[in-house]
Structure 1
Amino acid sequence: MKFLPIFLDPSAGPILLVGAGDLVRARLRLLLAAGAHVRWHATDGDFAVPGLDAAAASRIERGEVDPRTVDLSGIVAVFCASAGEIGEHVAARARSAGVPVNVMDDPAHSSFIVPAIVDRGDVVAAIGTGGASPVVARRVRERIEAALPARIGDLAAMIGRWRRSIHDHIPDLPLRRRFWERVIDGPIGEAILAGRSDEAEGSLKAIVDPSIYAGASVPGEIEGRVTLVGAGPGDPDLLTIKALRALQDADIVFYDELVTPEILDRARRDAVRVPVGRRIGKPGIGQDAINRLLIDAAKSGQRAVRLKGGDPFIFGRGGEEVEALREAGVACSVIPGITAGLGAAAEFEVPLTYRREALRITFLTAHKAHDASNVDWSALTDRKMTVVVYMGITAAAAIRSGLLEAGRSPETPVGVFARATRPDAKSVIGILDHLPALVRDVEGGPAILVIGDVVSHSAPWRNASQNSSLQTFQMAAE
């Protein structure tokens, strides 16, 4: 985040506007719409603004002196638009005086930037790109404009009017949050968004006990729950809508080591974040301790999210956690995620099945060499079977030995796909006989191993073949 979004109160004092032309008039209209009192220094002497009503025009003060010498005392902020060298001079003075300043399309002389804005009354969304691309910000704004209900600001205003009263009735923050969620997501919110504000206000007044309405069995007591959420392989854009909603509703998030910071950032800002995962070779707190944390959080009335890399039910021990929660009488649900094997297959164009060539898939985990020794490799020798191995980096040699001894061809195509869907993703392709060397070349995990003829249809294999480099690479891997 290059700039910190901050909402300015334009009624806190006068705002200085310097410049001329259509751009400065557009900025003037924006400031007036926000209720600002503006001291405008039109550098071309033209103060005409067609279409302004009398109330807005009354909040414009003409600056008749040279803006380069104007007194900045009490000024809340300075805006310069199409002001040229004069604007740069005013900006330098403002920065020296500690007054926030924006020079349009000139981040170097600005201490803040103006975002693209979605205005819904009491609901305002600001979209910025750090000054890099206003066009991208406008495109994002267009999408938000299309998605936001027209009367969402009316809903926020109604909540603002009732906020103090409900706070007095429900001092407990989690229960109060649930009250407002039920209002927003239920018939009351629907009535406001449909323009039936009187009906919505009447429904709120008719609520006898806000605590009961919020979902407590008795006032002041709420039941927590646990949601197991699949975080996917790493790219936050691959989170499901339900996963995003759960993260935004969570009071506390218990997350694995492999969950990326970008995904954690999608959780509600004030949610407590608790790391409970472990890396290869490092001790963790243990599954029993994790189960106890989840149970305790729910029984204290919190909405807990157990955020797990990939999918909770594919080598994620989600089944054990669900059983523990059920035995403890804790309500729980599961939101699936894109498992790492599918994420790697999609990113590197590996068709895990292929008509007439690959008819079956086996997913297995081989965390350590002794895990590999417990696998019945004889069941995995069919050439029409694709084998997808999770956590197989440290057991690569044992995996190769097991498959070769069982009869799988040493020429079987193999792909090692590390950190799939992340910015530092890397693929290395070759043959089964060279698997340990291939694993070393990806420079760390997490990694998925895909073993089978389908790898020869992947983008890395295709690119290597086109460059006549596959054979060279395989020789180097030896």
Structure 2
Amino acid sequence: MRFLPVFLDLQAGSILLVGGGELVRAKLRLLLSAGAHIRWHATDGRHDVTGLDAVDAARIERAEGDPRTADLSGVIAILCAGAGDIGPAMSSRAKALGLPVNVMDDLQHSTFIFPAIVDRGDVVVAVGTGGASPVVARRVRERIEAVLPARIGDLASFIGRRRKAMHGRIPEFALRRRFWERIVDGPIGALVLAGRGDEAEAALKHIADPSAFAGAPAGRAEGRVTLVGAGPGDPDLLTVKALRALQDADVIFYDELVAPEILDRARRDAARVPVGRRVGKPGIGQDAINRLLIDAAKSGQRAVRLKGGDPFIFGRGGEEIEALRKADVAYSVIPGITAGLGAAAQSEVPLTFRNEALRITFLTAHKARDAETVDWSTLTDVKMTVVVYMGMTAAPSIRAGLLAAGRSPQTPVGVFARATRPDSQAVAGTLNELPALVQRIDSGPAILVIGDVVAHSTPWRDAGLDSLLSNFLVAAE
């Protein structure tokens, strides 16, 4: 992100507008809609205000002379549109004075840019692409326009007019926020969005105890813990419910494997506490994590325990729930797409396949001794797909265990690293080659998939291994 979205109060001073033609008129309309006072240097000599009403026209000061030497007292920003060679010169002058400047379609000489704007009164959404593609920004704006309620600005105004009075009745910050969340998400907010402001006002006045309405009769915010599956890495694979939990959280305790792009979807002012560990690196320990969750909830915070994949598939979610139950802490669980499913979908591995793979087994073996404790004799069924989590280090032991139990050395296998992320990597081969396949992977985390279904995958086809499978099937018959 090169350009930080900010909102500038255009009524704090004058905007110096330099340029002419239709380009500058478009900027005039935009600035006037924000209540700006404009000092306009028309480079073509035409201060044409045709079509503007008298009130807007009165806020335009028709400036004469060369803008490069004009008095800039009271100016808070400079905008050039259709200004030709004057634009870079004005940019240099603005930068020397520390004034924000925009030269239309010229990033080199601009310190701010104009986003695509969704204007709903007190609710304004700005969409930018860093100047790279205004068309993309407009398309995003169109989609936002389509989903935002027409009266969302009215709802913001409704709350804004009453915030100060209500804050005097709810002294605790966390409880105030929850109060307004219930207003926005509940019947009162729906009334405002439906244009029934008088009824919404009456319903708000009917709330005798705002603290109780916010869900805390004792006047203190009630904390809880939500275990959230972050999925395999792609932030677009988060569930809608997971996104809502991240936006509502006061504090987020996240694993090492949670991608930064997923944390970016969380509420900006939520505290973020890393509690995970990677193989070979020390962590704070599960007991310490449990205590952090309990303490956060009992202090009235809404805590999210954010885990890679799904909380209940090798995520130790069950252990955390047991601790929360014993501490009498409210909790809920939001599932996520586990890494095995994410890898299978990305590389087109059908984990089940009619008449070919009828069962799936998920297991974990991040150390060689983990693999040595597995009863491999239960995993030799050719119609079973075996999905191994954290198995890169133990790959030689996994191969040895399966081969010793009787699984064919020609069984298709795949290694899928960092599935669904931009830097994902996948290779396929046979069980006999498993340790060598792992060596071709740059780094984890990785999923191992073992079974005939791997022969349907993209990596298998890309490696030209179809003939190998045919020979294997003939030998098996």
CA offset at residue 25 of structure 1? 0.8
Q: Does 1:73 align with 2:73?
A: yes
Match of 2:152 in 1: 152
Query: Which residue is equivalent to 1:253?
Result: 252
Could you say which residue in structure 1 is the equivalent of 2:39?
39
1:194 has 2:159 as partner = no
| Partners of 2:460 and 2:466 within 8 A in 1 | no
| Aligned match of 2:354 | 355
How many Å apart are 1:466 and its aligned residue? 8.5
The question of whether the paired residues in 2 share the 8 Å contact of 1:102 and 1:111 is answered with yes
Is 2:168 the counterpart of 1:168? yes
Seen in structure 2, the aligned counterparts of structure 1 residues 37 and 469 have a Cα distance that, compared at 3 Å, is: farther
**What SS does structure 1 have at the residue aligned with 2:354?**
coil
Distance 1:22 1:379 in 2: 76
Judge conservation of contact 1:72–1:94 (CA < 8 Å) in 2.
no
The answer to whether 1:432 aligns with 2:422 is no
CA contact (8 A) 1:250 1:271 kept: yes
Q: Aligned equivalents of 1:382 and 1:338: distance in 2? A: 26
Q: For 1:329, give the aligned amino acid.
A: D
Deviates more, 1:228-237 or 1:87-96: 87-96
3-state SS of 1:372 partner: helix
Alignment partner, residue 83 of structure 1: 83
1:233–1:338 CA contact under 8 A, matched in 2: yes
TM norm structure 2? 0.96
- Structure 1, unaligned runs of 5 or more: 471-478
- In 1, Cα distance between equivalents of 2:430 and 2:81: 62
| Larger deviation, residues 177-186 vs 452-461 | 452-461
Aligned counterparts of 1:317 and 1:20: Cα–Cα separation in 2: 65
Aligned partners of 1:184, 1:229: CA distance in 2, in Å? 24
2:281 alignment counterpart: 282
8 Å contact kept, 1:253–1:306: yes
* Cα-to-partner distance string for 1:337-369 (whole Å, 9 max, x where unaligned): 010001111111111122222221111111211
Alignment match, 1:442: 441
Q: CA deviation at 1:147?
A: 0.9
Deviation at 1:374, TM superposition (A): 1.4
Partner of 1:364: 363
The answer to whether the 8 A contact 2:257-2:308 is kept is yes
SS in 1 for 2:265: coil
Deviation at 1:321, TM superposition (A): 1.1
Distance 1:204 1:318 in 2: 40
Asked if 1:54 corresponds to 2:66, the answer is no
C-alpha displacement at 1:444, in angstroms?
1.4
**Conserved 8 A contact 2:225-2:302:** yes
In the alignment, what sits opposite 1:273?
272
Residue 50 (structure 1) shift: 3.3
Matched, 1:206 2:206: yes
Bigger mean CA offset, 12-21 vs 349-358? 349-358
Identify the residue that residue 332 of structure 2 maps to in structure 1. 333
Shift, 1:462, TM fit? 1.2
Displacement of 1:469 after TM fit?
A: 12
Structural RMSD (CA): 1.6
More moved, 242-251 vs 51-60 = 51-60
Aligned to 2:417: 418
Q: How many residues of Structure 1 are paired with residues of Structure 2 in the alignment?
A: 469
Aligned partner of 1:476 in structure 2 is none
3-state SS, counterpart of residue 465 of structure 1: coil
Amino acid at match of 2:314: F
1:385/1:452 contact within 8 Å kept: yes
* CA–CA distance in structure 1, aligned partners of residues 4 and 467 of structure 2: 49
Instruction: Give the unaligned 5+ runs of structure 2.
Output: 470-477
Query: Which SS does the other structure have where 2:252 is aligned?
Result: strand
